[in-house]
Amino acid sequence: SQQGEEDPQALSIQEGENATMNCSYKTSINNLQWYRQNSGRGLVHLILIRSNEREKHSGRLRVTLDTSKKSSSLLITASRAADTASYFCAGANQAGTALIFGKGTTLSVSS
Amino acid sequence: EPEVTQTPSHQVTQMGQEVILRCVPISNHLYFYWYRQILGQKVEFLVSFYNNEISEKSEIFDDQFSVERPDGSNFTLKIRSTKLEDSAMYFCANLKGNTGELFFGEGSRLTVL
């Protein structure tokens, strides 16, 4: 079953603007993670937020988690052209042994 | 940063042929995963492997698929009798300690003709 569902599917912004991506999931999770994928490449881990956390920051990244709504958001501040990529959320099951990914948000940042 | 290495980077095969994709995981990482991504689509969980046994598998991971650790270090995904719809990127991943963070390889692109 699909654990993560990102929204929007595609997002185009100008350099310097903020980008916000949302993720909804269906079942209880142990943690939720965001990954980035450049075209044709592997996924790179960005940030992890545990089910008992509400917000986390890492550099220009800010992630929130609302377990009551089963949703998360990823904010990239002051975006750069190099942020152009697909971004995926993934929920870890209760055993923490499997990450199930959503369909991803494709972010395009133009200079 | 330790790396997960996958080979081949690209394999072209005829429908009905067997394919073996290989992964060299990060040493001392005990959980291994295989994911599949059809071009332009989501990343789909196939199977997780722990301590030389399958710990979890998805509906996609049917009898056509198998995973092994043939020599205790490398980690393989075998696809028997490939079908056109098996064309995809196949990613191997290791779990980082207790964080749940996955380290992904660069993937093996499989093209079935």
CA distances to A17, A95, A96 from B31, in Å: 38, 12, 11
Token pair listed for B44: 């789909």
Structure confidence at residue A97 (pLDDT): 63
Which position has the token pair 């545990």?
A: A50
% of chain B residues with pLDDT over 70: 93
Query: In this complex, which of A42, A98, A102 lies closest to B107 when CB atoms are compared?
Result: A42
Cβ contact, residue pair B56, A103, below 8 Å:
no
Residue A13 and residue A105 in contact, taking contact as beta carbons nearer than 8 Å: no
Tell me the nearest-neighbour CA distance from A61 into chain B, angstroms. 17
% residues pLDDT > 90 (chain B): 56
Is the pLDDT reported for residue A1 higher than 60?
A: no
For residue B8, whether the previous peptide bond is cis, meaning omega lies within 30 degrees of 0, is: yes
Query: Quick one: DSSP state of residue B68?
Result: E
Q: A99: part of which helix (H) or strand (E)?
A: strand A99-101
B85 SS3 class: helix
Where residue B1 falls among pLDDT bands split at 50, 70, 90?
A: low
pLDDT of res. B98: 67
pLDDT at B103: 86
pLDDT tens digit sequence for B46-91: 998 887 889 889 999 999 999 988 877 788 999 999 999 999 999 9
CA separation for the pair B21, B90 (Å, rounded): 8
- The residue with tokens 């956390």 is A53
Strand, helix or coil for residue A81: helix
Mean pLDDT over each residue of chain A, to the nearest integer: 89
**What pLDDT is attached to residue A36?**
95
pLDDT in tens, A57-95: 999 999 999 999 999 999 999 999 999 999 999 887 766
Determine contact, residues B13/B82, Cβ cutoff 8 Å.
yes
Beta B10-13 vs A105-110: how paired, if at all? Answer: unpaired
CB spacing of B41 vs A96 below 8 angstroms: no
